C-alpha cells in the first residue's frame, strides 16, 4: 500500500469546495455519473477500433446503490476502469488540478451563484457530500485492481484490490449534513433531473412490472421484477429527423414534460455541426396572452447531460417561451450570464436558432396556409415579440406574419397593403390602417367603418401597440388608427370637403350650448360636418395618447408615467345630423338639455362608458321619453 499527499498548493482545498459550492451540492451525482458514462463510452470506442483486445463490451449499465445502514452511496460502472498508475495520474494529479483550477478561477466570483456547479469540478465534487471517498477500480487492461481512499484531507492511500470485474466503483461515505442523499426518493429525483437522457442505461434498484403470460384464453397477469432504468439513452433529438415521425416528436414532448397535457403545435429539429455543434428539438406550445406563466422551459444539455433550464442568453429572449431541448458541447457553462452574452459562439448559436425558427414558420406558412392561419392566435405573441426584439426576425417575419381582420381574413402586410391601398389612402398619400382591439366593445365603430367600405384589423395581443409603433417607423407612409380614435372622415381624410348644413353663427351657438351641458373635464367637444347618416354624437379617444398609455403599461415604450394619466375623450358632434339641428331649434332650454344628455349617454353606451348612477339615470330618462 502506498500513501501520499495530494499535490496541493491551495492548502486544504476540501473545506473550500464545500464552502464555494454550498448551494449546489446535488451536482456531485451528475459529475460521478458523467464520469461513469465517459468511462463506458471510452471502452465502447476502444472495442470499436480494436484497441481493447479480448474485451467484451456487452450491455453495460451504470448502477447507483444506497446503503442506508452503512451511510454509503455506491456508483458502479463497467467502463474502462483505471490501473493504479492511472489513479495516481488522473485522480491524484489531473483531477485535483482541475478542481484546484476551478476554485482558483471562481473564488472571487463565487457570490455569482450562476456559475457555481456547472461542470469542471468533476470527481472532487464528491467531497461536498462525503467525509470519505473510495475508488475501487479494475482496468480493462490486464493489471490488478486498485483501491484508493481519501478522507478529505490532502492525504490519500492507494493499495491493490482483489476486484476481478472490469470497471469502477465509487463509494461515498455520506457526511452528517448530507443524509438526504441516502434517501431513495431524493436520489431518484436527481437521477431524473440530470441523467434522464444520458447515453448509458442507469439502474437504480428494481421495480414491479405486470406482464401477461400464457395463451390468449388463459392469459395471466403476472408481476415480475425488472431493473429500474432511469433514463432513455436514445432521446429523439439525437436521432435524424428522417427517422422520426410526428408521433415520435409528440411522444418525446410528453417524455420531457410529463405534466403537460396540451399537445405542442409544431416542432423544429435543430441539427448543425459547423461552425458549432448543436442538436435539439424546439416545440411551439399553445400560448395564452399571459406571457408570464411558464414553468416548463427549454432544457439545456451538454452531451445528453442536463445542465440547466435557464437558457437566457443562449436562446433569444422571445423564444424562451418555447419548450424543448438544446444540446451543445460548445456552450461555455462555467461562466456568468453577462459573459455568455459577449461570447461569439453563443451569439452565433442564438442567431442560428432565430433563423431556424423563422425558416420553419415560413415553410409552415407556405406549405399549409390554412393550418398556419388557424394556429396564428396561439403563436402570434411569440412572433410579434420576436419582430419587436430581433431585427433579423422582423425582416424574415415579413413573409409570414399575419394581420387578421375582424372577419377572420388573414393578410400578410403586403397583401393587406395591396387590398386596402385605394380605399385607405388619404389625401396626403398616407395609408391609414384601421384596427380594433375588441370586437364587442368597439362594435358600433367597426360596423360604421365596414359600412363605408373600410377593412378593420383585429389587433388584440398585449404588445401590439409596440408592434404598430415599430411598423409605422420602419415602413413608409403608413399609420395605424383604432376605429374609435376619431371620426372616420378625420382618420382618413379625403379631398372632398363636406358641406356643412350649419353656418358659422349657428356653429358658434351650438358650441356654446353643448359646452354648457357637457362636462368639459370629461369631453372635448369637436364639431364636424360629417355624412348625415353618421351618428350625431360619437365619443373618440385620440390614438396617440391612448397608445402611449398602453405602451407605458406594457413596459419598454411610451413615456414614463403615462399609464397613470386620466383617460381623454373627444365628443365628435356631427353638425349635419338631423338631431343636432333639432337641438339648436328646440323651444326650451330643458328640451335642449334633454336631447343633449340623451345623445351623450347613447354615445357613451356605444363606447362602453356608461356605468353606475349615470346608467340608472339614462334608463329612467329613456322610459320617460317613450311613455
Ligand atoms: P473530467 O471528467 O473532466 O476529466 P473528473 O475530475 O471528473 O474530470 O475526472 C478526472 C479523471 O478521472 C477522468 O478524466 C478519468 O480519467 C478519471 N475517472 C474518473 N472517474 C472515472 C471512472 N468512473 N472510470 C474511469 N476513469 C475515471
Ligand atoms: Mg468528470
Ion ligand 2: residues, Cβ under 5 Å: 35, 122
Query: What CATH number was assigned to the domain covering residues 402-497?
Result: 3.40.50.11260
Site of grid cell 442567431: 351
CA gap 67, 63 in Å, rounded: 13
- Nearest atom in ligand 1 to the alpha carbon of residue 75 is 23
Helix spans in 21-91 (H): 27-48, 84-86
Q: How is the chain split into domains, by residue range?
A: 2-205, 236-371, 402-497, 498-542+557-627
Do 122 and 94 touch, CB atoms closer than 8 A? no
How confident is the model over 489-516, as a mean pLDDT?
89
Contacts of 513 (CB under 8 A, 6+ apart): 583, 584, 592, 596
* Cα dihedral value 609, 615, 621, 627, nearest 10: 110
Do 221 and 208 touch, CB atoms closer than 8 A? no
CA–centroid distance, 307 to ligand 2, in Å, is 14
DSSP string, 194-257: HHTT-SS-EEEEEEEEEEEES-STT-EEEEEEEEEE---SS-GGGS-GGG--HHHHHHHHHHH-
pLDDT at 333: 62
Do 230 and 205 touch, CB atoms closer than 8 A? no
- Here the cell at position 549 is 398609455
Which top CATH class is 2-205?
Answer: alpha beta
- SS3 of residue 366 by DSSP: helix
Across the chain, what does the average pLDDT equal? Answer: 87
CA gap 319, 282 in Å, rounded: 9
Please tell me if the CB atom of residue 36 comes closer than 6 angstroms to any atom of ligand 1: yes
Tell whether the model's pLDDT for residue 427 goes beyond 60: yes
The least confident of 445-449, 548-552, 573-577, 619-623 is 548-552
- Here the cell at position 415 is 397583401
pTM over cut 0.85: no
CA gap 478, 424 in Å, rounded: 10
Please tell me if the CB atom of residue 461 comes closer than 6 angstroms to any atom of ligand 1: no
pLDDT tens digits for 163-182? 999 999 999 999 999 999 99
CA–centroid distance, 246 to ligand 1, in Å, is 39
Tell whether the model's pLDDT for residue 331 goes beyond 80: no
pLDDT at 116: 36
pLDDT at 568: 83
The least confident of 67-71, 120-124, 330-334 is 330-334
CATH 3.40.50.300 fits 236-371, yes or no: no
Q: Does the CA dihedral 285-286-288-289 come out positive or negative?
A: positive
Please tell me if the CB atom of residue 90 comes closer than 6 angstroms to any atom of ligand 1: yes
CA–centroid distance, 54 to ligand 2, in Å, is 27
Give the closest ligand to the alpha carbon of residue 88.
1
- Nearest atom in ligand 1 to the alpha carbon of residue 31 is 7
Please tell me if the CB atom of residue 35 comes closer than 6 angstroms to any atom of ligand 1: yes
- Nearest atom in ligand 1 to the alpha carbon of residue 80 is 25
pLDDT at 6: 64
DSSP string, 462-506: TTHHHHHHHHHHHSTTEEEEETTSS-HHHHT--SSPPPPSS-HHH
CA gap 103, 602 in Å, rounded: 73
Residue of minimum CA distance from atom 1 in ligand 1: 122
In terms of CATH architecture, what is 498-542+557-627? Answer: Up-down Bundle (1.20)
Per-residue pLDDT band for 273 (boundaries 50, 70, 90) equals confident
The least confident of 112-116, 275-279, 565-569 is 112-116
Do 479 and 420 touch, CB atoms closer than 8 A? no
CA–centroid distance, 226 to ligand 2, in Å, is 29
Amino acid at each position: 500500500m502506498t500513501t501520499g499527499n495530494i499535490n496541493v498548493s491551495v492548502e486544504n482545498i476540501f473545506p473550500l469546495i464545500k464552502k464555494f459550492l454550498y448551494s449546489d451540492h446535488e451536482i456531485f451525482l451528475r459529475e460521478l455519473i458523467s464520469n461513469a458514462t465517459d468511462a463506458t463510452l471510452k471502452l465502447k470506442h476502444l472495442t470499436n477500433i480494436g484497441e481493447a483486445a479480448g474485451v467484451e463490451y456487452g450491455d453495460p449499465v451504470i448502477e447507483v446503490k444506497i446503503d442506508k445502514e452503512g451511510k454509503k452511496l455506491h456508483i458502479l460502472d463497467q467502463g474502462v476502469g483505471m490501473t493504479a498508475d492511472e489513479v495516481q495520474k488522473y485522480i491524484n494529479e489531473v483531477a485535483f488540478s482541475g478542481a484546484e483550477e476551478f476554485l482558483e478561477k471562481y473564488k472571487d466570483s463565487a457570490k455569482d451563484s450562476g456559475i457555481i456547479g456547472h461542470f469542471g469540478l468533476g470527481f472532487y465534487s464528491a467531497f461536498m457530500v462525503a467525509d470519505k471517498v473510495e475508488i475501487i477500480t479494475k482496468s480493462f487492461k490486464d493489471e490488478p485492481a486498485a483501491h484508493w481512499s481519501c478522507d478529505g484531507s490532502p492525504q490519500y492511500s492507494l493499495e491493490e484490490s482483489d476486484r476481478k470485474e472490469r470497471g469502477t466503483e465509487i463509494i461515498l461515505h455520506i457526511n452528517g449534513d448530507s443524509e438526504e442523499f441516502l434517501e431513495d426518493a431524493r436520489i431518484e429525483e436527481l437521477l431524473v433531473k440530470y441523467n434522464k437522457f444520458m447515453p448509458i442505461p442507469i439502474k437504480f434498484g428494481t421495480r414491479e412490472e405486470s406482464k401477461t403470460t400464457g395463451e390468449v384464453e388463459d392469459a395471466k397477469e403476472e408481476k415480475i421484477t425488472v431493473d429500474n432504468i432511469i433514463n432513455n439513452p436514445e432521446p429523439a433529438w439525437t436521432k435524424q429527423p428522417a427517422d422520426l415521425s410526428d408521433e415520435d416528436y409528440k411522444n418525446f414532448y410528453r417524455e420531457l414534460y410529463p405534466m403537460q397535457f396540451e399537445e405542442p403545435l409544431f416542432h423544429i429539429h435543430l441539427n448543425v455541426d459547423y461552425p458549432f455543434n448543436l442538436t435539439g428539438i424546439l416545440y411551439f406550445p399553445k400560448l395564452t396572452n399571459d406571457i408570464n406563466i411558464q414553468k416548463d422551459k427549454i432544457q439545456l444539455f451538454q452531451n445528453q447531460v442536463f445542465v440547466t433550464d435557464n437558457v437566457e442568453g443562449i436562446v433569444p429572449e422571445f423564444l424562451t417561451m418555447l419548450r424543448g431541448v438544446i444540446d451543445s458541447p460548445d456552450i461555455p457553462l462555467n461562466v456568468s450570464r453577462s459573459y455568455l452574452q459577449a461570447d461569439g459562439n453563443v451569439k452565433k448559436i442564438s442567431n442560428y436558432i432565430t433563423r431556424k425558427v423563422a425558416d420553419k414558420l415560413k415553410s409552415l406558412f407556405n406549405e399549409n396556409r390554412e393550418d398556419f392561419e388557424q394556429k396564428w392566435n396561439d403563436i402570434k405573441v411569440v412572433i410579434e415579440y420576436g419582430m419587436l426584439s430581433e431585427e433579423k426576425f422582423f425582416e424574415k417575419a415579413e413573409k409570414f406574419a399575419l394581420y387578421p381582420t375582424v372577419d377572420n381574413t388573414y393578410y400578410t402586410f403586403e397583401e393587406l397593403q395591396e387590398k386596402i391601398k385605394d380605399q385607405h389612402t388619404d389625401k396626403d398619400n398616407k395609408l391609414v390602417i384601421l384596427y380594433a382591439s375588441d370586437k364587442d366593445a368597439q362594435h358600433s365603430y367597426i360596423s360604421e367603418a365596414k359600412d363605408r367600405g373600410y377593412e378593420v384589423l383585429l389587433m388584440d395581443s398585449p404588445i401590439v401597440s409596440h408592434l404598430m409603433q415599430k411598423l409605422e417607423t420602419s415602413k413608409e407612409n403608413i399609420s395605424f388608427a383604432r376605429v374609435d380614435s376619431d371620426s372616420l372622415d378625420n382618420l382618413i381624410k379625403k379631398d372632398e370637403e363636406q358641406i356643412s348644413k350649419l353656418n358659422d353663427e349657428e356653429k358658434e351657438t351650438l358650441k356654446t350650448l353643448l359646452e354648457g351641458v357637457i362636462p368639459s373635464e370629461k369631453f372635448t367637444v369637436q364639431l364636424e360636418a360629417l355624412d348625415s347618416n353618421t351618428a350625431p354624437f360619437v365619443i373618440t379617444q385620440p390614438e396617440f395618447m391612448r397608445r402611449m398609455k398602453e405602451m407605458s403599461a406594457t413596459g419598454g415604450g411610451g413615456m414614463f408615467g403615462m399609464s397613470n394619466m386620466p383617460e381623454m375623450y373627444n365628443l365628435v358632434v356631427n353638425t349635419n345630423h338631423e338631431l343636432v339641428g333639432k337641438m339648436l331649434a328646440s323651444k326650451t332650454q330643458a328640451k335642449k338639455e334633454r336631447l343633449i344628455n340623451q345623445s351623450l349617454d347613447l354615445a357613451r353606451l356605444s363606447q362602453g362608458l356608461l356605468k353606475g348612477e349615470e346608467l340608472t339615470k339614462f334608463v329612467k330618462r329613456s322610459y320617460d321619453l317613450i311613455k
